[in-house]
Structure 1
Amino acid sequence: MALSLGRTLYNLTGPRTSGIASARPVRPPGDLIWLHAAELGCARGLRQLALRLVEELGVTVLLTCPEPVPLTADMVHQLPPIDTPAEARAFLAYWAPAMAIIAEGEVRPALMFEAAERHLPVIMVDARAPYLMKGREGWYPRLMRQSLQTVQQVLAVDEAAARAFRRAGAPEVAVSGRMEEPSAALSYHEPERAMLAALMATRPVWLAVDVPAAEEAAVIAAHRSALRLAHRLLLIVVLQDPARAADLAAAMEAAEGWTVAQRGLDQEPDAETEVYIADSAVEYGLWYRLAPVSYLGGSLLGDGCARNPMEPAALGSAIIYGPRPGGYGSVFGRLGAAQAARAVGSAGDLGDALSDLLAPDRAARLAQAAWTLASDGVEVTDRVVDFARRVLDGES
């Protein structure tokens, strides 16, 4: 059958050679499902899906991504093949996947047409907008529409994304929202939490994590301001540089007259303690669990937030953050859109936000919205896993 003009032009403008085939890892025996991510950020979004496919269906997962990604057992990484008919045939013949799952919306026409020839089910997840793979953009009449018509299902993140796929020609589009992400809930030692909670009794508590030296004064000022409203308030602070604990404790005792306890000295926060300096990064889960409010250090005056905001969200701690999100801009954007975190623009704003969130109902509303966001997407992942199960059972 004659190829369309767009498909012919696309094939003619593709690269002639590729060395990818020689670099293919050994294919494990058994069923294999192919996941594709156009970039590392997309690959992170596929990680929880990959884990569930391995654990629940007993398959091997092949993940193609232009960048190296962390893998677990029964996961294989390969660079994506160059999108030409010959490479597509060689790739699919070698890996023989049971189905393909593409993240976000990258369109690889040669692979998609070859998959259709082999009756290989293809779905798109976390779909935002369809686009031709980077480096292959151009004028190819009807190519996008024809490529998307090979896709069995597009699971769009929202209605705007769904409209974009429908306009581009995808026949089966559903608004599902995002898939679940790997749980950010950190572990903690429950007997230790219970002991510390008993020591703190009903005192209000807030947490400042990963605080750089440049932000110590802002955290102190915020605590000083909030103490005027809640004189029993306890600050738990985790410093970016634990070696500063002794100097900071001495400075607060001298300048503020506060009673400071240091966990590194095996001291405990008693009823008179106003500041508790924690020195172990492995106990973040414990501190998030104890503190109804958490400020994420580095986001105000530092080099950017270094902790995943979903960590406190997953453990029910309301989040305060500054204008420097670090590598978590998109996460903070989602939290902000859901009214699930409090943004501050200056050191003075930190004190105001903290004082406002000392009201338990306000902190609880923020924390509940953040927890809902952190727990979101399980139903979407369930849907994809169920589709894969039906494919393996010969039902789709």
Structure 2
Amino acid sequence: MSGRWARTMLSAYRFAGAAAYPLVGPYVAWRTSRGKEDRNRRRERYGVAGRPRPEGPVIWIHAASVGETLAVVPLVESILDYGVNIVLTTGTVTSAQVVDERLGDRIIHQYVPLDLKPAVSRFLDHWKPDLAIIAESEIWPMTILELGARHVPQVLVNGRLSDRSFTSWKKRANIAEALFENLAHVVAQSDVDGERFRALGARPVTVSGNLKVDTNPPPVDLRALGTLQRQIGDRPTWAAISTHDGEEVVAAEVHATLHRRHHGLLTIVVPRHPDRAEALALQISGMGLKVARRSKGDRIGGDTDVLLGDTIGEMGLYLRLTEIAFVGRSLTSEGGQNPLEPAMLDTAVLAGRNVQNFREAYQRLLDSGGAKLVRDRDMLAGAVNFLLTNEVARHEMMAAGIATVDEMRGALARTLKSLEPYIQPLVVKARLKGANGR
């Protein structure tokens, strides 16, 4: 496919998006009915601004969901120190809550507009960003094209391309190149990600490491932590976190296998999507296990088998209740979830073998002895049993995990260095604006 043909296809995409725009109302309404959109702010998804544009330069930063949002918080805080206005967009209700908790009114939060020309154009017409910074793997063709048409520099930070995404883009290499030529800079997470972006036509590309390593450990409500610790007492615990469909049952089966060997064993299950909690509670209870649900304030009694962590924003609480954590989306689903949070919270990390999306982080943890991969349920049960039984080995894994995270830090400084040529002119512009306004 030629470059001219690729651009023709992207133009067709632009017009198709404009044609589809009137039809998206029912889709947004459906998402709103399921709690996936903020009912009072859903007009923002159509590019309708919820706030006036501030005077002076504006940097638009986009982070899709909770993980990306937490990763960019230190970056946002560093850019705020320059005195430049920031509009931060996210795509989920939970990520908006994280923004409010971590950044408050220091930034302007908006929900990201749908990747359709009318919505994107309306958003850009209002905010007129001087620079766009996009986190991780958010490749929205219409947004990239519209920013490019307005000559707004676009920088992809903490850039990542999964095996599946890279394979998909390679099949459309000319379209990828026509898109990525609009990016002023790609700051990739790893050498592998960097090479993939270069192969798809992105220039220039630098490697920073993973911004998630430079975040603070997830916070905790100390009162809630103390309450749960008193209820648990000295019972042995292990956790299965960020689990996907099928992995909760695996965790319950591991509990059933081990609870006779480890008297009083408590298994903590934290599903990636808490809206599945009702069905999960019924399923696990149907296996003969007693479940306490965090969202309902259930007390952990001596006969409680499973604490179901069906709340949002309390990962820091659940991880502080144990020294062993299996990280999900790695046994029954593919890609894995981020192992760095449990590692930095003094936890021995276990996972299935499907961890391609966090390959470098897992490889570093495996090399240091901070993590172990398991093949199936029986191997997971064996690993949990070993770590519960062998305190020295468990603490060695925990120490190795923390040391590995410390060694991986520095991505924030490297990212800021890459962004400096784009931010410094805006700093000068903001200062001149302030001086002329006095």
Give unpaired runs (5+ residues) of structure 1.
Answer: 228-232, 250-262, 269-274
Give the Cα–Cα distance (whole angstroms) in 2 for the partners of residues 265 and 139 of structure 1.
Answer: 57
Partner of 2:76: 53
Query: What is the CA distance between 1:316 and its match in structure 2?
Result: 1.5
Aligned counterparts of 1:62 and 1:164: Cα–Cα separation in 2: 27
What does 1:1-396 align with in structure 2 at a 5 Å threshold? 6=3, 10=7, 14-15=11-12, 17=15, 18=18, 23-26=46-49, 28-30=52-54, 31-35=57-61, 44-46=67-69, 48-49=71-72, 52-53=75-76, 57=80, 59-63=85-89, 70-71=95-96, 72=99, 74-76=108-110, 77-82=112-117, 92-103=124-135, 104=137, 106=139, 110-111=145-146, 113-116=148-151, 120-128=152-160, 137=172, 144=177, 148=181, 151-166=183-198, 170-180=202-212, 185=218, 187-189=220-222, 192=226, 196=230, 200=234, 205-209=236-240, 216-225=252-261, 235-238=265-268, 241=281, 244=285, 248=289, 277=305, 279=307, 281=309, 285=316, 288-295=319-326, 312-321=342-351, 330=357, 334-335=361-362, 338-339=365-366, 340-357=370-387, 358-371=389-402, 379-384=410-415, 387=420, 390-394=424-428
Aligned-partner Cα distance in 2 for 1:13–1:266: 55
Q: In the alignment, is the contact (CA less than 8 A) between 2:268 and 2:318 conserved in 1?
A: no
3-state SS in 2 of match to 1:393: helix
Mapped contact 1:124–1:151 kept (Cα < 8 A): yes
1:316 is paired with a residue of what secondary structure?
A: coil
**Alpha-carbon distance, 1:394 to partner:** 2.8
Q: Secondary structure at the match of 2:398?
A: helix
What's the CA shift for 1:176? 0.9
Amino acid at match of 2:218: A
* Distance in 1, Cα, partners of 2:179 & 2:299: 67
Larger Rg: 1
Report the 3-state secondary structure (helix = DSSP H, G, I; strand = E; otherwise coil) of the residue aligned with 2:410.
Answer: helix
| Contact kept? 2:180, 2:200, Cα under 8 Å | no
Identify the residue that residue 272 of structure 1 maps to in structure 2.
none
Instruction: State the Cα RMSD in Å.
Output: 5.5
Residues 179, 380 of structure 1: 8 Å contact kept: yes
In 2, Cα distance between equivalents of 1:138 and 1:346: 36
Deviation by residue 1:150-178 (Cα, 9 ceiling, x = unmatched): 64432122223333444565553322122
Q: Which segment drifts farther, 276-285 or 23-32?
A: 276-285
Residue 331 (structure 1) shift:
5.1
**What secondary structure does 1:162 align onto?**
helix
C-alpha spacing 1:187/1:308, structure 2 compared with 1 (3 Å): farther
1 CA distance for matches of 2:138 and 2:338?
A: 25
Shift of 1:222: 2.6
Checking the alignment, whether the CA contact within 8 Å between 2:337 and 2:357 is kept in structure 1 is no
Higher helix share: 2
Partner Cα separation in structure 2 for residue 157 and residue 241 of structure 1: 37
Using a 3 Å threshold, how does the CA distance of structure 1 residues 289 and 237 change in structure 2: closer, same or farther?
same
SS at structure 2 position matched to 1:342: strand
SS at match of 2:220: coil
- CA shift at 1:295, angstroms? 4.8
Number of residues of Structure 1 aligned to a counterpart in Structure 2 = 345
Q: TM-score, normalising length from structure 1?
A: 0.61
Cα separation, partners in 2 of 1:69 and 1:81, compared to 1, 3 Å: farther
Query: 1:375 and 1:180, CA in 2 relative to 1: closer, same or farther beyond 3 A?
Result: farther
Match of 1:252 in 2: none
SS of the residue corresponding to residue 14 of structure 1 reads helix
Shift, 1:363, TM fit: 1.9
Q: Deviations over 1:190-236 (max 9, x none)?
A: 68279759963xx9x332458956754532433445x5xxxxx7522
Distance 2:372 2:94 in 1: 32
Q: Deviations over 1:321-352 (max 9, x none)?
A: 457x8xx8735884366324333344543443
Q: Deviations over 1:19-73 (max 9, x none)?
A: 6699321263224322457xx57x84255426752786263425387x8884245
Q: In the alignment, which residue of structure 2 is the partner of 1:257?
A: none
Q: What is the deviation of 1:391? A: 4.3
CA distance in 2, matches of 1:46, 1:195: 29
Distance 2:48 2:119 in 1: 16
Q: Structure 1's 303 and 24: CA in aligned 2 closer, same or farther, altered over 3 A? A: closer
CA contact (8 A) 2:208 2:411 kept: yes
Q: Distance in 1 between matches of 2:220 and 2:330?
A: 24
Identity %: 19
